[in-house]
Structure 1
C-alpha cells in the first residue's frame, strides 16, 4: 500500500513494576493498519494482546517505542487531548457492551458525539440512524437493562461507528454472546466499518472471528507475529 497508515506502532514495549519486580508484557511490537483494512490480533489469554490494544488506542502508555495515529505521535498528547482523540477518531467495541445503565440506547450511542461537541439534538438524530442500521429502531428509548445481550452488543457497535471514526478497536466483541448473536454482531461490525472506510483492529482468541480479517497477527508471550514472522 502506498497510502500512509492510519495507525503505526514501532518497537512498542510495555513493562509493569520496577527493579527486580519488572514484568515485561510487550516486546518490540510493530504494526501498521491502513484505512479500510481489518487486522485481527489473536492469542491466548495473558499473551499481551489486550495490553497492546490499550497502548494502540491511547488507553495505556507504552514503556518504549512509538505509536502514531493519523500522523499524531500519541506520546505528545496529554490526557485531555488524548481523550478528545479517542472521542473524535476511535471507536470501541468491548466484550461487555459497557453501556451506561442510566442512559437509553439512543443516549448511549449519542454519547461520543456529544463528547466531541455535537449538539444534543443532532447527536440523537445520528444515534437513531446508527441504531436503525443495526436493527434497533424499536429499542432506541429502552434502557440497557431492558434489552438482550445481543441487542446491547449491537448497540455497542452502533456507538463505536456513529462518529465516523478513523479506526475501531474490537476487543473480544462476540465473546459474551451465543453463536447466533455472535455471528450477527460480527457481520454488523464488518458491514458498518466497511461502509465508513475505517480501519479495524480485532482482539480475539476466536479463529473464526479472525478468519475474515485482511491480516491476522499472533501475539505470543508479548511478541507479535504474522505469516510466521516477527513484524
Structure 2
C-alpha cells in the first residue's frame, strides 16, 4: 500500500493509505475535508474508513463531510466515543484491526489527551502517532500525567526500530532547535537539522522520521538514558521527573 502525506490547515498532516490494487483507502486524522477530497477524487480512490488518533478539532474536523460524501466509517478509541464526531467503529486497546488485509495494531497512549491512540500498520511498518510523538519532539500534556506520557512513549519505543513515524504536525524544525539547545554538542542533531531545513526550503515535508533516529536524537525519548541524563547533570532524576523537566523546558522554549 502507498501512504500519501496531505498537508492541512496551517501545519497539520493527514495521511491517506491506499491499496493500489483495489483503489480503496483510509485517511488518518483529517483536520479538514477539502484537501482530502481533492486527492481522493483526483486519484479515483474510494474512502472506506476515517481513522482518528484523538478528538481534537484539528484532527477530526473533516470527519462528517468526508463520511457524508464517501459513505465512510469513522474509527476512534472507546474512551473518545462521545468526543469523536460521527464515530461508527469503537476500538479497544491492543486491538488488531484489519484494513485491506493489513493488520493494524491499536495502542492507547494517554498523555496529550486521555483517549489518544496510535495506529501501527504492521505490513507497512508505519506508525501514525498523532500528537503523542512528533519528529524529534512530543505532544503537550493536556489531559494526562507525565507518568502516562512516559509509558505511552515507551509503547512507541517498543516498535521495530525501522518503523516510520507519521506524526500530526510539521513542528520538526522547532523541535530540532530545542533538542540542539539542550544537547549542544551533538553533531548528528546538527546534521539532521541541516538536512531537514533543506527539505523544507524545497517545500518537502519533514515526515516521516525513522524510529531509530527518534531513539537516537529525540531528547524526549532519553528518559531512561543514564549517560545522557548525567551529561545534563540530571542523573539523579528518575524517568518521569527527567521527562517532566524536559517537557517543561520545551513549554517555555
Q: TM-score, normalised by structure 2?
A: 0.35
Q: Which is bigger in relative contact order (C-alpha 8 A, separation at least 6)?
A: 1
Q: TM-score, normalised by structure 1?
A: 0.37
